Structure 1
């Protein structure tokens, strides 16, 4: 069964300032989609800057299991020789998606309208996550799903033999669900429509258009309506993956709270549906600046500079901003603990069904570090202690969640006493070079408990 093996405790402690270039890995969301759409195109798609973390590598193996030719050329350069829309072959073995909710949900969508069956599993964290939110709309196409109680993995999905297009309103903002429905719609005749009340990250729509799909987006009284014409012949592409803004959040936020720091993240993706964290940080008084703004592969990109910001202040983060920064709330809560006043985060119930219950995980860890936290089902409030005011001196539980682990390690760089995490192993799923990258900037990270 999937898992990263023996726990790797790690400790962070305050030291010198952070400085230099933080060349974070490629965007995880775009990397997943590039592999999947490359496998659905006719011909060879070439990808540079692919994130080579465990999550994306599991998706690469899955595409090979469905019959695509996936080749690693070294240095983040990959190629995918695709099978065409509806061309997936039935895999011979179980598809193990490790820790990746994005990977498993998008892959399910991509195969749901082909007349094949596949069984999916993952690590303990992924097997505990709800899959009904994606299998329910896939059933509308004619697919069948059979899983554990609550629709959890392991789960067998039988694709529709004669798929039909659907019109689906996403009940809770979710780019994963939206994308799964759009990918399923590729092999259904006619027009598939997805309606979302709040805009979520639009990498799938941008990339579908780039591969030649007929897709349009309009804003109506119902919300954002995305219409896809099914059964296109997707054209192979050359894709340069921008650096991941969710991974960049960790060195950026660490720089804001560690005295004297000045860090540059080159080539970060700034898709407006992903940039909510940086907008929020600027409102809190963060010293952030964008340099060399440009467009690469249809995505806005810039070099982002972050400097120590001793006068951060708590704010109320608009609930409607949540979809554009849902993965960044754990590290935002770390920054909020080093600000003055309360930071209120609402509309974040989605955090409770991520790799862990991220509200609970952050609340318990921050409280152990001396920070007062209030939480409800869909909100939490951090009562900041100002620059240098957080005590630390504890070991935080990560619950097999990479973002929880990285968040507490960043906090430990600015606390009075060291902060440890019980297991830094899951960090490899999304940010395999986190430890050497942070050390190169000047961070004091040590293997072992605090």
Structure 2
């Protein structure tokens, strides 16, 4: 990877060093995705079938997988994969069940009761990337929290042909509605609905830049009312390492994200020139053995090593970048944790590769990218529910609060707001006088 000395860069050069892959943000992307969404809105299933033929090279007669097709796919999955899925499910379920919401019920003042409650989102759409790297694990990361939260309708979409293990994982997580459609057109179908695919209230899942752009556009489309989980596009990782870190471990972690796609990005931030050189050698050696070496090489061409003065500066650089995944391979990784302000998920220590979070440690691997981790959280159980407030006042409570409410409403020149309180107070005063 290209090496840059952070302290020798100008402010604009530092900004350039932290930029994502130029493959992200293609000027023609928005219009291309808009056209796909409009086509799905106009033609429904016919557009989805046409796009599958055009983009995936597959002619579909049905978008939905039948119960028989699901059962047959499950039978074809190797027991070793089934056992790995079962272990991952146990850990993911344990971690997400621990996140169960606890209602808040507070009497803010005598006679004034305020509550914060939560209920599951009714209809959710789960997008599972497929193609050259079918993400079996993403099924678990989306379907299990949706089930634990109690979402009534859980719809899964994935590009055809859907990998048998994806179907098995979905079935194991209680998903019964599985549709063979991917890309921007799948997002459009979930948002707008078609003859076969029902519209949903919220869409979840990572994807390529087309999927990410489609999620953004449908969330702003007046033809539908749909929310999205987060900006979750091409994968990225940043590694903070000191002189004693294992260069082979670091290279393996960098390549584990670089192999996702040519628009992925990996970064190394270190205070050791010697380590940086060793990591480059390890990258070359490991890259030559990977089946996806060409894809990883393209990602590495837009990736870099940043040499910093010390680990405190490494933390500052990382916070500016806001990585999806942040790996800390230093002598005392947990000591650096309080200084790390922006990351989707953090992996501490030499024996915590990013891969464990991707599959089976229990945390969720659907994470914000492009620097959104500075303000957007990793996916959790809360994302499958909506929170709402409840308030209830006794007559005495309104009498205690009413004057302040009327004063503020009057200051805002909202007389109807003031009258809604004044009428009630007048009624209470009249009742009191009559008594």
Larger radius of gyration: 2
- The structure with the greater share of residues assigned to strand is 1
TM-score scaled to structure 2, two decimals?
A: 0.29
TM-score scaled to structure 1, two decimals?
A: 0.28
